[in-house]
Amino acid sequence: SSGHLKVATQPSSADVFIIAVPTPFQESHSSLSDPSFPTADLSYVVSAAKSVASHLRPGNLVILESTVPPGTTSNVLADTLASEGVKTADILIAHAPERVLPGNLLYELMHNNRVVGGLTTEATEAACIFYRSFVKGQVVTTDATTAELVKLMENTFRDVNIALANEFALVSEYLGVDVWEAIRLANLHPRVNMLRPGPGVGGHCIAVDPYFVIEAAPHLTPLIQAARKVNSRMPQHTVRLVEQLIAASSRKVALLGASYKANVGDKRESPSLEIARLLEEKGLSVTVHDPYIEEYQCPIEEAVKGADALVLVTDHDVYRSLDPKKVRSLVSSPLLLDTRGYLDEELWRAAGFTVHRLGVRSDVPCVVG
């Protein structure tokens, strides 16, 4: 209403240009990479750079916020601008990775700390001044490649730690113990903070960014590669659990949650959708419910009606408020698999459900190889 925000389909002249475009992964074509690991698709970065090139004037600042493999700002962004006739020595180019949480974007844009790195000292300073104009958190400066790596390190750290939790979940099933109780007890140690296991890792960051590190140094990242394999196989393990638990005559499975993250409507790289695909390949009928994603917003009563098994995949608050007795009256078989250790097990058992949790006393063989 103030007129300060304008939306357009094409860029125009400005003082600062921010490129914030997707960087999905694609199948690897590198002879250096394991073909099972994808590589970054930087075509959107290239396209965006070309679209702003004709509008750049000496002294303009170009900031890449997209999460990218190390070296992209200098080797892809700057080179693309140069190929379009831009004298890159006359402009300022920097990288400042976004660090926002889906569902809380505007607050975090202002309050999160930012890491800013330019291709030159002048570019770093200009980008720092720009972000300090609205960021209430710290704005910390470095070089562009370090800034690129920092974002990848943050999300790879979480991916590796989730993989460790998932591996302990598999071990717990093998040994016949409760991984949730074991993690609670382990976290009583003042220097231990183990994350929680689950049916897989999704989203546009944690499930993607480690591949960019692997792509940059495939021969130096065995731990990161192993973590990616563990997490990417958890949907398959969840399906194995379902197969073990349901009767041979079972036909319908209801998945609770399509989003990769609780209380957020984001299905990118969601393990729920991979689980649904794998179950359908097994010949099962699958319904997916999610209150935050339009295509899965059918009444939950409709989603669970006639189900032979319920699988809690996403720990949305709304699922904790479900009435197990009402759900029991709708399903064909009172079987619940909780992959998040989230629901009140005793409450659901009291309603007549047989409750199983990922990481707890299972005869399903762990995923190996």
Q: Which residues are part of the catalytic machinery?
A: 151, 205
Quick check: 284 and 250 in contact, CB under 8 A?
yes
Quick check: 347 and 322 in contact, CB under 8 A?
no
* DSSP designation for 40: E
Cα gap 337→279, rounded to integer Å: 14
Question: Would you put residue 54 in left (φ > 0), alpha (ψ -120 to 50) or beta?
Answer: alpha
- Residue identified by tokens 């607050």 is 107
| Residue 311, strand partner residues | 255, 337
What CA–CA distances, in Å, run from 163 to 138, 167, 228, 312, 356?
Answer: 30, 6, 7, 19, 21
Quick check: 210 and 227 in contact, CB under 8 A?
yes
Q: Which residues 6+ apart lie within 8 Å of 53 measured at CB? A: 80, 81, 84, 85, 86
Please choose, from the candidates 246, 230, 228, the residue with its C-alpha nearest in 3D space to the C-alpha of residue 311. Answer: 246
The answer to whether the Cα torsion of 349, 351, 354, 360 is positive or negative is negative
Cα angle 295, 299, 300 (rounded to 5 degrees) comes to 100
